[in-house]
Amino acid sequence: MAAKLTPLHPACQQLGAQFAEVCGWHIAEIYSGVQTEVEAAQRGVGLGDDTPNGRLTIQSTQAEAVVQAALPAPAQAGAGAAVGAGTRIYRLRQDLFFISTPPGEEEAVQEKLSAAGAAADHFATVVDITHGRAEIRLVGPASQALLSKVCGLDFASAAFPDGTARQSSLARTSQLIIRRDAGSLPGFSIIGKRSLGLYVWDIISQAGREWGLTPIGRVALDLLEKDKQSA
């Protein structure tokens, strides 16, 4: 089966990305060079394509209990709890949770959740919406200011700390905005309808020009995510 394409693929291609296959996804790996990309993100803001991440929703009046049973999370489940390696749980509503998994792991997580749902008193619905969303990654000290140009939320760290997930209007579209720092750099994931992905990417690229927004590939992004000293 041919590799899956993200909605941002045409933009990445135009920006001269070298692509690689990651968990069945055709994904931008490097643009100008890993070091340049890392430094640009550390200085201003880097823009990446994180669409290959798995995305699930679970609906149930007992959603929290089902999630707890399937994915035992440290102490506080709910918004922003990290489970194991890279799976994160966010409460969007009392009866609706959003789960982000590393690329390719959505199926396994869905199975766990569905099993837990089937065992619960109230019926639960787990849906894999991976294909329905574009996921844009912003990393860098200017990412908060950039977002304040396209969204009315308060992105100050005190008001929107790491791990926060909020759904709001971004550039006149509905998006799920998650504060997900990369190492010690502030970072965000912007998750919205796949069909709007390219539009949002373009708007963000324009809005970020004043901070020297730079596209960053998978390799640079991985480095930034791991590097606690990157700031």
Partner 1 sequence: MQSERAIAGESGHNRGPNRLPAQAGEVLDRSTSIRFSFNGKVYSAHPGDTIASALTAAGVRVLSRSFKYHRPRGLLCCSGHCPNCLVQVGDEPNVRACQQPVEEGMEVQAQNVWPSLERDLMSVNQLFSRFMPVGFYYKTFIHPRSLWPFYEGMLRRAAGLGKVDPETPWGTFDKQYLHADVVVVGGGPAGISAALSAASQGARVLLCDENSAPGGHLRFAAAAAPLAALLKELEEHPGIEVLSDTAVVGWYQDNWLAAVRATRLFKIRAQALVVATGAYERPLLFDDNDLPGVMLGSAVQRLIHLFGIKPGERAVVATANDDGWQVAADLRAAGVQVAAVVDERPVEGVAEGMEGVRVLGEHYILAARGAGAVRAALVAPVEGGGHSAGTGAQEFPCDLIVVSAGWTPAADLVYTAGGRSIYDEERAEMRLSDLPPGFYLAGRVSGTHGVEEQLEEGRLAGGAAAAFCGWGSAPEAAEIAALEERKTAEKRRTSERVRAAGKKKQFLCYCEDVTDGDLETAVAEGYDSMELLKRYSTISMGPCQGKMCSMNALHLCAQVRGQSVQETGRTTSRPPAKPVSLGALAGQNMEPVQRTPIHNWHQERGAKMMVAGLWLRPEHYGDPEAEVRAVRQGVGLIDVSTLGKIQLNGPGVPDLLERVYVNQWRKLGVGRVRYGVMCNDEGVVLDDGVCAHTKKEEWYMSTTSSGASGIFEWMQWWVQAGWGAGVHLTDLTDVYSAFNLSGPQSRALLQKLTERDLANEALPYMRVRAARVAGVPCRLLRIGFTGELSYEIHCPSASGLHVWEALMEAGGEFNLVPFGVEAQRILRLEKAHIIVGQDTDATSDPLAADMAWAVKLDKSDFLGKRELVRVANEGSRQRLAGFVMEGAEEVPEEGLQIVERDAGGELEIIGWVTSSRFSPTLQQAIGLCWLPREVAAQAGNAFTIYRRGKLLRARVHHGAFFDPQGERLNM
Partner 2 sequence: MLILECPNCGPRNASEFRFGGEYKPRPQDPMAAGEEEWVEYLYMRDNTMGVQKEWWYHNSGCGMWFLAERHTRTSEVLKTYQWSSDTASGDV
Residue 203 near which of partner 2, partner 1, none (CB within 5-8 Å, type-dependent): partner 1
- Smallest gap, in angstroms, from Cβ of residue 133 to partner 2? 15
Q: Which residues bind partner 1 (CB under 8 A)?
A: 1-2, 4-7, 10, 25, 51, 57, 59-60, 123, 125, 127-133, 145, 148-154, 156, 158-159, 171-173, 193-196, 198-199, 203, 206-207
Nearer to partner 2 among residue 100 and residue 230 (C-beta)? 100
Contact 103, 25 (CB under 8 A): yes
How far apart are alpha carbons 98 and 80 in whole angstroms? 10
Report helix, strand or coil for 15.
Answer: coil
Stretch that binds partner 2, among 18-26, 44-52, 103-111, 162-170 (CB under 8 A): 162-170
Nearer to partner 2 among residue 94 and residue 125 (C-beta)? 94
- Smallest gap, in angstroms, from Cβ of residue 99 to partner 2? 16
Nearer to partner 2 among residue 31 and residue 90 (C-beta)? 90
- Smallest gap, in angstroms, from Cβ of residue 166 to partner 2? 7
Put the strands of the sheet holding 214-215 in their side by side order: 165-170, 173-179, 187-193, 133-139, 46-49, 214-215
Residue 168 near which of partner 2, partner 1, none (CB within 5-8 Å, type-dependent): partner 2
* Torsional class of 212: left (φ above 0), alpha (ψ -120 to 50), beta (otherwise): left
What does the block give as tokens for 224? Answer: 């930034």
What does the block give as tokens for 70? Answer: 């399937």
How far apart are alpha carbons 78 and 227 in whole angstroms? 26
* Torsional class of 140: left (φ above 0), alpha (ψ -120 to 50), beta (otherwise): left
Q: Of 69, 166, 205, 231, which lies in the binding site for partner 2, with binding defined by CB under 8 A?
A: 166
- Smallest gap, in angstroms, from Cβ of residue 200 to partner 1? 8
